[in-house]
Amino acid sequence: MILTRIFKETLIILILICSNYLGFSQDNESECRVLLSEISDSYKGGCKNGLAHGKGAAKGIDSYEGKFKKGLPHGMGTYTWSNGDYYDGTWKYGKRHGNGLMYRSDSKEKIFGQWKEDEFIKEIELKPYEILQRIGISGCSFTEKYKAVQGSIEIVFSRDGKENKKVDDLIIDASSGFVKSSDRFTGIDNVSFPFEGKVQFTAVNRFNTGTINCEIKFKISKEGSWKVVIRY
C-alpha cells in the first residue's frame, strides 16, 4: 500500500511538471508577436523581447517569409497577398523599401523596381545575376543550361583551368531549393527565383604552405537552369 501511494504521488508530481513545462512553452510561443495585422495569426521563427526578430514566417490573411525586426518585416523577404500577388525584395519596418520584384497575379506581370516607404519609385533593369560578395575567390562565371531541368543551379569549382565538383569544408546556404553534394552533382535543385546563395569552403594556398577560407555570395534573378563556376 505504501509503495502504491508513493507511486501515485510521484506520478501526480510528474504530470504537474509536464503540464507546467507545456504551458510555459506555449506561453513563450504566443508571446512572440507580429505587429502587422494581416500576417499576425501565426508565427514561427526568431524572437526578441516578445516580438518577431530575425528569420521567420508569419501567416494571416496574407503571408510573409523572411527577415523581421521589432515585430515587422525588415530586410530581405517575400510577402504574398491573398489574391496571389507577391513582392520579393527588401523591407523596412513593414514597408517595401529598396529594390524588389513585384508580381501581379491577374496580369502575370513582373516588375523589378525601387520602392520607398511602400511607394513605387521607378522600374529598374533586372540583372540576370550578380556577385554580392567574394573572399579568396579570383572569379566566377554564370552560364545558362538550356537543356537541363529548370530550377537547378550547379556549382563547379575551378583552379588553373581544371574543374572539380568537390572541395574541403563545403557549406552552401540557399534562399530556396534543396542542396545536393555528390560526385555527379553539387548544387541546388528546385530553386525559385530570384535566388540568393552563399558558398563557403577551404582550399590549399598557391604556395602549399597552408589553407585559405573562400566565400562567395551571389544572386540569380533570371529563371532557368544555371552553371556557376567558382575560380579560386
Model confidence pLDDT, tens digit, residues 137-188: 999 999 999 988 899 999 999 998 898 878 999 999 998 999 998 888 999 9
Model confidence pLDDT, tens digit, residues 90-130: 999 999 999 999 999 999 998 999 999 999 999 988 889 99
Average the pLDDT over each of 12-16, 65-69, 119-123 and give the range with the smallest value.
12-16
pLDDT score of 30: 52
Contact (CB, 8 A) for 101 and 221: yes
pLDDT score of 19: 44
Write 104-112 long-range contacts (CB < 8 A, 24+): 112/221
Nearest to 222, CA basis, from 146, 156, 135: 146
pLDDT score of 184: 85
pLDDT score of 183: 83
pTM of the model: 0.58
Q: What is the DSSP letter of 184?
A: S
What domains can be seen in the chain, in order of their start residue? 32-123 (2.20.110), 129-231 (2.60.40)
pLDDT score of 21: 40
Task: Decide: residue 6, CB within 10 A, 0-12 exposed, 13-18 middle, 19+ buried.
Answer: exposed
Residue 12 scores a pLDDT above 60: no
Lookup: cell for 184: 555527379
What is d(CA 66, CA 32) in angstroms, rounded to the nearest whole number? 16
Q: 13: pLDDT confidence band, cut at 50, 70 and 90? A: very low
pLDDT score of 147: 85
Lookup: cell for 170: 563545403
Mean pLDDT of the region 79-85: 97
SS3 content of the chain, % helix, strand, coil (to 5): 15, 55, 30
pLDDT score of 206: 84
pLDDT score of 9: 54
Residue 3 scores a pLDDT above 80: no
